[in-house]
């Protein structure tokens, strides 16, 4: 701990200064990552960067005093955190291991009191290697080679919580193991077994009284055959209530009466309520455009009052228009027009809440909202050096794919050039690809290109998340085929509307997006002038044998379902085999410590391009993993990408000025 807690707790939102945003400003990590208020409203916990470390700051609202909680080792950062009692926080840590700069979770759980005292490592592989502050010399906590996950705090027991333990296997994949639920002492780590699941990678759901009454997961390597089990009480008998012959649903949370469960249903296109007495599902909300809805809890956490969606701009549908939370949200939206307002958490009495206001040009400001007075106080700017008035505006778009499928995405035009035509354009393809999706929100890569005069086009191609199950499944085994066609169709959409200059388009992406960039220039050699593949996959057969997903039954089953395993087919969809068709100039960006997409992927693509007489620009950082982390490395990469774009499709700002 130290008493020099995270500075600038109360801020005034800065004014606008018109000037080009420095590249390093776009490369910097946010100063503040997350903020949550304690259940009694006395404290706010914040994760933020001090020096080069992520710490947990605990601030008392009454006098703004506070402390920093630092990870115990110099190569560690604080990860996620939750209030588990009015005076206690549970948090995880990440570690920078070996040569890799990207931090990875340790699976351990720590707790600390709101005043910074009583710190304890209560669960994990290193638990038991130290004495806890139990008042005795008895070693209570024992080491466990497993990953811990919070199931639920216990509202009526401030010294205990429910956690799930996922034992480590050789693969390190929690989807391959049968978890156990424990009641754990937040002070010393002593735990009591509460339940276990025969389903691999299962999740547990407790009711509002802290009784574990559901678990859900899969018994199949494909991980797509979901099952849900339910019991009426802590000593009740488990029965299957979803999956198999029963109508499928995915539990979210219990309602206030503890008799019904909110759940995703109808292939993820709806939110329903499952009644534990009648065993029936009642539909509460159905998406009009296929966008998935996300439940918004009431301030006390005992129920839900709204549903958020992310197709286009974020939107909120009220389940209960008379809920006090609905009135509070409407009040804040009136005070902060034009931004997305998200409720982060609130006190149990509903008198105070932490909100995040953000937008396509705004990284976000955390606010404290007091419901009785409707007072809104700005607390923390996530990136205070980024001024929304200087950034580019992101606008939602909609189009149809060649087979009639509805697609959504975003178009970001350079600041003050929103009416310009025939712009040099960067088509930016997201990673994942399944379950991941672009949203209306601040993105440093988007702003890098747009503030330099390039139009930026993003599309949520089939297989992307944020939509119902049918949309995701439409992308299964369509790498390089229909998924790629969606990106092509979006590119042609921008050309047809006079937005993109047909002769000045570059395609860029990371991970799957890197694959799509190289697949795009090999499948459509005359559409793009250049491509940037960032930690991308270029040889599907090689990747199916060499990545951190291999060796896990569930991961390999997943890959078989979404990608396929026929060697001839995988080769036919691999960019490495079509280097001789690529006319565009290529940049390849590779991390030497990347375990998800080993450097052999980039090396094989580089060799293929060199043999084809089109040697790529090669960016390699030995200590970086699956995406660069070090700010200096990111800034250097940004500069090199801008120079590459300038060389191949022209300087964005100069090109715009000529129009």
Kindly report, residue by residue over 61-82, the tens digit of the pLDDT. Answer: 999 999 999 988 888 999 999 9
Band (pLDDT 50/70/90 cuts) for residue 545 is confident
Identify the residue with better confidence: 596 or 81.
81
Residue 30, domain member (yes or no): no
Other CB atoms within 10 Å distance of the CB of residue 540: 26
The CATH number linked to 462 is 3.40.50.1820
Band (pLDDT 50/70/90 cuts) for residue 549 is low
Please check the confidence at residue 7 and state whether its pLDDT lies above 50.
no
The per-residue pLDDT for 414 is 95
Residue 259, domain member (yes or no): no
Residue 636, domain member (yes or no): yes
To the nearest whole number, what is the mean pLDDT of the chain?
A: 90
Please check the confidence at residue 625 and state whether its pLDDT lies above 50.
yes
Residue 549, domain member (yes or no): yes
Mean pLDDT of 120-135: 76
Residue 193, domain member (yes or no): no
Q: How far apart are the first and last CA of the chain?
A: 57
How many domains is the chain built from? 1
Residue 199, domain member (yes or no): no
Band (pLDDT 50/70/90 cuts) for residue 417 is confident
The per-residue pLDDT for 248 is 85
The per-residue pLDDT for 96 is 79
Mean pLDDT of 557-567: 83
Taking the CA atoms of residue 487, residue 491, residue 494 and residue 499 in that order, the dihedral angle to the nearest 10 degrees is 130
How open is the CA angle 401-407-413, to the nearest 5 degrees?
110
Q: Position of tokens 């004495």? A: 131
CA distances from 329 to 292, 294, 299, 336, 394 (A): 21, 16, 11, 10, 23
Residue 462, domain member (yes or no): yes
- Reported as a single tens digit per residue, the pLDDT across 459-470 is 999 999 988 888
- Reported as a single tens digit per residue, the pLDDT across 303-330 is 999 999 988 899 999 999 999 999 999 9
CA 360 to CA 612: how far, in whole Å? Answer: 40
Percentage of the chain lying above the pLDDT 90 cut = 76
Please check the confidence at residue 427 and state whether its pLDDT lies above 60.
yes
Contact 217, 202 (CB under 8 A): yes
Six token digits for residue 287:
């998406």
The per-residue pLDDT for 17 is 39
Which is it for strands 293-297 and 304-309: parallel, antiparallel or unpaired? antiparallel
Band (pLDDT 50/70/90 cuts) for residue 524 is very high
Identify the residue with better confidence: 382 or 551.
382
Identify the residue with better confidence: 196 or 3.
196
The per-residue pLDDT for 40 is 97
Band (pLDDT 50/70/90 cuts) for residue 150 is very high
Chain mean position to CA 73: 26
Mean pLDDT of 30-43: 97
Nearest to 353 by CA among 375, 336, 374, 368: 368
In sequence order, the β-bridge partners of residue 531 are: 507, 586
- Reported as a single tens digit per residue, the pLDDT across 460-519 is 999 999 888 889 999 999 999 999 999 999 999 999 999 999 999 999 999 999 999 999
The per-residue pLDDT for 583 is 98
Band (pLDDT 50/70/90 cuts) for residue 136 is very low
Q: Which of 12-16, 18-22, 344-348 has the highest mean pLDDT?
A: 344-348
The per-residue pLDDT for 655 is 40
Nearest to 13 by CA among 352, 363, 266, 303: 363
Contact 626, 535 (CB under 8 A): yes
Residue-wise burial string across 129-144, b where 16 or more C-beta atoms lie within 10 A, e elsewhere: eeebebeeeeebbeeb
Q: Where are the alpha helices (DSSP H) in 102-257?
A: none
Mean pLDDT of 402-426: 94
Residue 22, domain member (yes or no): no
Please check the confidence at residue 415 and state whether its pLDDT lies above 60.
yes
Other CB atoms within 10 Å distance of the CB of residue 321: 10
Band (pLDDT 50/70/90 cuts) for residue 200 is confident
**Domain residues for 531?**
392-658
Please confirm whether the linkage preceding 433 is cis (ω < 30° from 0): yes
DSSP state of 248: P
Mean pLDDT of 266-275: 91
Please check the confidence at residue 334 and state whether its pLDDT lies above 80.
yes
The per-residue pLDDT for 99 is 59
The per-residue pLDDT for 13 is 44
Close Cβ partners of 496 (under 8 Å, ≥ 6 residues apart): none
Please check the confidence at residue 105 and state whether its pLDDT lies above 80.
yes
Q: Where are the alpha helices (DSSP H) in 524-596?
A: 540-543, 553-562, 567-572
DSSP state of 22: P
The per-residue pLDDT for 130 is 59
Band (pLDDT 50/70/90 cuts) for residue 447 is very high
Band (pLDDT 50/70/90 cuts) for residue 50 is confident
Mean pLDDT of 555-580: 88
pTM, entire model: 0.91
């Amino acid at each position: 701990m130290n008493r020099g807690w995270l500075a600038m707790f109360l801020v005034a939102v800065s004014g606008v200064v018109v000037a080009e945003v420095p590249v390093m400003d776009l490369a910097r990590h946010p100063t503040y990552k997350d903020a949550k208020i304690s259940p009694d409203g006395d404290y706010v916990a914040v994760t933020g960067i001090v020096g080069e470390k992520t710490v947990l700051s605990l601030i008392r609202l009454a006098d703004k005093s506070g402390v920093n909680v630092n990870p115990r080792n110099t190569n560690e950062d604080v990860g996620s955190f939750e209030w588990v009692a009015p005076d206690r926080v549970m948090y995880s840590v990440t570690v920078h291991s070996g040569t890799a700069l990207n931090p990875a979770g340790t699976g351990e759980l720590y707790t600390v009191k709101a005043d910074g005292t009583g710190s304890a490592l209560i669960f994990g592989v290193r638990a038991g290697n130290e004495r806890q502050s139990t008042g005795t010399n008895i070693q209570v906590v024992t080491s466990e080679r497993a990953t811990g996950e919070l199931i639920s705090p216990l509202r009526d027991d401030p010294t205990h919580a429910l956690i799930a333990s996922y034992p480590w296997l050789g693969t390190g994949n929690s989807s391959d193991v049968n978890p156990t639920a424990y009641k754990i002492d937040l002070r010393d780590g002593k735990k009591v077994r509460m339940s276990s699941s025969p389903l691999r990678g299962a999740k547990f759901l407790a009711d509002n009284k802290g009784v574990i009454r559901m678990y859900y997961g899969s018994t199949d390597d494909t991980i797509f055959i979901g099952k849900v089990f339910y019991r009426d009480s802590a000593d009740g008998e488990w029965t299957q209530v979803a999956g198999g012959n029963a109508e499928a649903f995915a539990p979210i949370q219990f309602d206030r009466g503890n008799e019904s469960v909110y759940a995703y249903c109808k292939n993820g296109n709806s939110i329903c309520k499952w009644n534990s007495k009648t065993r029936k599902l009642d539909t509460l909300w159905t998406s009009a455009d296929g966008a998935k809805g996300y439940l918004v809890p009431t301030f006390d956490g005992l129920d839900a009052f709204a549903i958020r969606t992310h197709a286009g701009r974020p939107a909120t549908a009220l389940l209960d228009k008379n809920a006090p939370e609905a009135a509070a949200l409407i009040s804040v939206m009136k005070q902060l027009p034009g931004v997305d307002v998200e409720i982060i958490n609130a006190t149990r009495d509903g008198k105070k809440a932490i909100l995040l206001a953000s937008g396509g040009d705004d990284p976000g400001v955390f606010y404290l909202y007091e419901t009785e007075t409707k007072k809104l106080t700005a607390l923390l700017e996530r990136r205070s050096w980024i001024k929304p008035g200087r950034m580019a505006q992101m606008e939602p778009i909609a189009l149809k794919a060649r087979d009639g499928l509805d697609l959504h995405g975003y178009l970001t035009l350079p600041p003050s050039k929103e009416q310009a035509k025939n712009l040099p354009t960067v088509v930016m393809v997201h990673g994942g690809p399944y379950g991941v999706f672009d949203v209306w929100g601040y993105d440093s890569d988007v702003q890098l290109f747009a503030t330099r005069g390039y139009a930026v086009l993003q599309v949520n191609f089939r297989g992307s998340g944020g939509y119902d199950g049918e949309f995701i499944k439409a992308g299964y085994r369509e790498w390089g085929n229909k998924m790629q066609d969606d990106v092509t169709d979006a590119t042609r959409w921008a050309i047809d509307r006079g937005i993109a200059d047909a002769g000045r388009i570059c395609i860029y992406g990371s991970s799957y997006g890197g694959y799509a960039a190289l697949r795009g220039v090999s499948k459509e050699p005359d559409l793009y002038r250049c491509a940037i593949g960032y930690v991308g996959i270029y040889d599907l057969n090689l990747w199916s044998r060499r990545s951190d997903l291999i060796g896990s039954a569930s991961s390999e089953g997943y890959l078989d379902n979404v990608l396929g395993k026929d060697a001839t087919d995988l080769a036919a969809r691999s960019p490495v085999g079509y280097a001789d068709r690529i006319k565009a100039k290529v940049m390849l960006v590779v991390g030497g410590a990347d375990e998800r997409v080993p450097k052999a992927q980039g090396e094989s693509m580089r060799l293929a391009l060199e043999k084809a007489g089109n040697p790529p620009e090669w960016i390699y950082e030995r200590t970086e993993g699956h995406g660069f982390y070090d700010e200096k490395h990111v800034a250097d990469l940004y500069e090199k990408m801008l120079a590459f774009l300038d060389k191949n499709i022209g300087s964005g700002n100069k090109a715009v000025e000529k129009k």
